[in-house]
Chains A and B, each alone.
Chain A
Amino acid sequence: MEGTAVRGRLTWQTATVGSVTDETPKVRTLVLEVPDWPGHRAGQHVDIRLTADDGYQAERAYSIASAPGEPLALTVERLDDGEVSPYLTEDVQPGDQLEVRGPIGGYFVWEPAFGGPLLLMAGGSGVVPLRSILRRRSSAGSAVPVRMLYSSRSLEDVIYRSELDGLRDAEVIHALTRSQPPGWTGYARRVDAQMLAEVAWPADSKPLAYVCGPTSFVEAVAAGLVGLGYPAVRVRTERFGATGQ
């Protein structure tokens, strides 16, 4: 059930961890139970706040991985030097509590009514909000054409791999930048102008692009798409902290 968007001031709500699923060795999805969750739009995020028993608090923002109408799910990548992500990806157990604020975001969102064709460009954990968009499209039965280019370090780092492989009406093209399995015939390098030219919908089809990932990825891809003739206003960007690839 899709709730109404929250207007006005956000408040922190207590969330209970419902289940955890390891997506890759460094990435975990948490499903959160929030009693008064108002629903969300595909592409939005939430702020998470953790409180230690000495009162210390840490806040971070995480994209929502689930589609509107599905239980609230976040997918978190463990950053080696992090303070919050190691806790969320290794220590947290079902039943643990944290605080959530949201949903947040009115720019990096997609609804079926926005149309397409859709070009989703994911760098590493930037795939998370794009997966929400894919699930939204599927659950709405939308026929908007969609193509995703997903750049990861290696096959083991691909998040939602079987789900993406199983999409029948969406094309997902992988670029593995650091190592490839034997026999790999796909892209084996970082996204560049040549790759964009081969993958992107032609500009005259009036595509809508969503680019998400580390800052360096987003800037290179967004500039590349504008270089292919995409109007800047049709290229939506969301930069994560640059983990680099």
Chain B
Amino acid sequence: MGTPEDRDVAPDDPALDYAALDGNAIGGLLIEVFGTEMTTAVGICGHCGAVGQVAELAVYQPGLGTVVRCRSCDAVLMAFVRIRGVTCVDLEGLASLS
């Protein structure tokens, strides 16, 4: 898949918001956390109610952790931070995940 690696300065093109991948990119992380394949799970945004499969959510990985956002309103739905071998999992932004 080619996840992002260290990069040079990007051209300032608003269309090239290249920080954002999707839930496919964190398939392995999600199996680690949930114990099962999650990319087809359906999430409901707790902020705006948008419904979407995890594979289609916006994923940001700035190196400090993984932030998963609603595509409609950009609210944080999930966050994963791994420190000293322990993963902190924040799912508070989701109204539901099934």
Contact = CB atoms under 8 A, between A and B. Distances in A.
Verify whether A and B have any Cβ pair under 8 Å: yes
A179 interface: no
Interface stretch (B23-31, B72-80, B90-98): B23-31
A45 interface: yes
B40 A240 contact: no
B20 to A, nearest CB: 6
Interface string A22-61: 0000000000000000000000010100000000000011
A74 B15 CA distance: 29
B2 A79 contact: yes
Contacts, number: 107
Most B C-beta atoms less than 10 A away, residue of A8, A60, A106, A108 = A106
B24 A238 contact: yes
B81 interface: no
A125 interface: yes
Interface string B1-28: 1111111100000011110111111011
A216 B18 contact: yes
Nearest to A86: B5
7 contacts: A10-B31, A62-B2, A105-B55, A215-B18, A240-B1, A241-B2, A242-B4
A101 interface: yes
B66 to A, nearest CB: 12
Q: Which 6 A-B pairs have the closest CB atoms?
A: A242-B18, A241-B4, A107-B55, A104-B27, A82-B5, A107-B39
B16 A45 contact: no
Nearest to B61: A241
B35 interface: yes
A63 interface: yes
Contact of B36 (A7, A79, A237): A7
